[in-house]
Amino acid sequence: MRRKLTVWWGIPCKSAIPVFKSLAEQLDIDILFVALNDLPTHRKKLGWGIPDFGELSFEVLGANWISKAVALIDDRAGLHIVNGIYHDKRVRYVSHRLVEKNREFGVIMEAPANLRTGLRRIIKKFVGPIVTPFRTRSVAQKAKFVLSASGDHQRDFERLGFARDRIFRYGYFPDFPAITRKTGPNFDLRILCIGYLEPFKGQDCLLSALAILKHKIPFECAVTGFGSSESYLLKMRDRLGLQENVKFEGVVSNDKLRELFNWANILIAPGLEEPWGIRVNEALLSGLPVVVSDGVGAKELVEVSGAGELFRAGSPASLADALTRSLARLSNSTELVDKVCAFQRCITPQAAAAYLAEVLDYIEAGSGASATRPIPAWSLPPKPGQLLLQEHTV
């Protein structure tokens, strides 16, 4: 009898479906991917769509979602994986229902993050660590494992109630096409910054850093997206005299976004605090080096690969230094771009699926002293001639 796996996700996520699609194609598992909500309008506005799900069974619950979820939980034997415990009412319902029905389940979720600003950020900083574990512990203690979609947050997940030896590093792993780029040195920076224009995204830090660099190095910058900070950022750009250097593109089509990825020679993720940062993966997969704040979860991809630069979150001076180092690396050799290319295969959906399969086997076999704990491909720097996980058969 084929093994069954049921995956419960908040939305039809472009970073989750490709991984489970790869898993379904590589293993003899009956996998059903259940999206509890349709894609929200703000995601569609950014160009998100439902990825190709290939051999993966796929369903969006939509209306009457409770009765549909109950029926699937009752009917689907085997392991369930749920995308969280408390952040979304539908996800919360499913996770508690799995506990009530004594189903075997694991969790893939982000570590707690504080994306507030001002007084609300201060309040959450002190209240969150006290309140959140009360919301999670009853489910977390029943889970067979948790994969951290925020990278290495071992202690945070222990506080939520998950067993210490059942916490695994993870992230987000979209599919994104590689772009053929011109080889040779670059003597200016063409900076791309994409995503929501919100205070926690750090675009104000980027503008301040560019003001520092205005008369030091040549650069252009394109900023895409929409959000509550748009008016403030436009006024800030003009006040800093960056009208000729920084263009706010607004919401762009997928074709325009591809043009911008092709035009840029660096992508920046300047967030003050973010659980991961899918655009970091997309940039690296496209062949684009990155500059990433140390408040962004995907910073570990840069730490491991050397395929970019890190800077201190919220520090314009630190970001200006990181951009200056990036230009020096781009100008002197192909070293930076070569590191991007060497690392790409470690962060594909296929590589993530291979790692996920190893975790499932490890959990099923029991994590005894003789078991080898899985190590994700993206946590180890690739070596010349090394066969990467993407090239393994799972």
Instruction: Work out the number of other CB atoms within 10 angstroms of the CB of residue 11.
Output: 20
Say yes or no to pLDDT of 392 above 80: no
> What is the DSSP pairing of strand 146-148 with strand 167-169?
parallel
pLDDT of residue 127: 84
Say yes or no to pLDDT of 385 above 50: no
Task: Quote the pTM value.
Answer: 0.91
For 64-96, write each residue's pLDDT tens digit: 899 999 999 999 999 999 999 998 999 999 999
pLDDT of residue 375: 92
**What mean pLDDT value characterizes the chain?**
91
Over pLDDT 70: what percentage of the chain?
95
pLDDT of residue 368: 55
Instruction: Work out the number of other CB atoms within 10 angstroms of the CB of residue 270.
Output: 26
pLDDT of residue 387: 36
For 104-130, write each residue's pLDDT tens digit: 999 999 999 888 777 888 888 888 888
Instruction: Work out the number of other CB atoms within 10 angstroms of the CB of residue 198.
Output: 18
Q: Hey, what domains does the chain have and what are their CATH numbers?
A: 3-174+348-391 (3.40.50.2000), 189-345 (3.40.50.2000)
Instruction: Label residue 50 by pLDDT band (50, 70, 90).
Output: confident
Instruction: Work out the number of other CB atoms within 10 angstroms of the CB of residue 72.
Output: 18
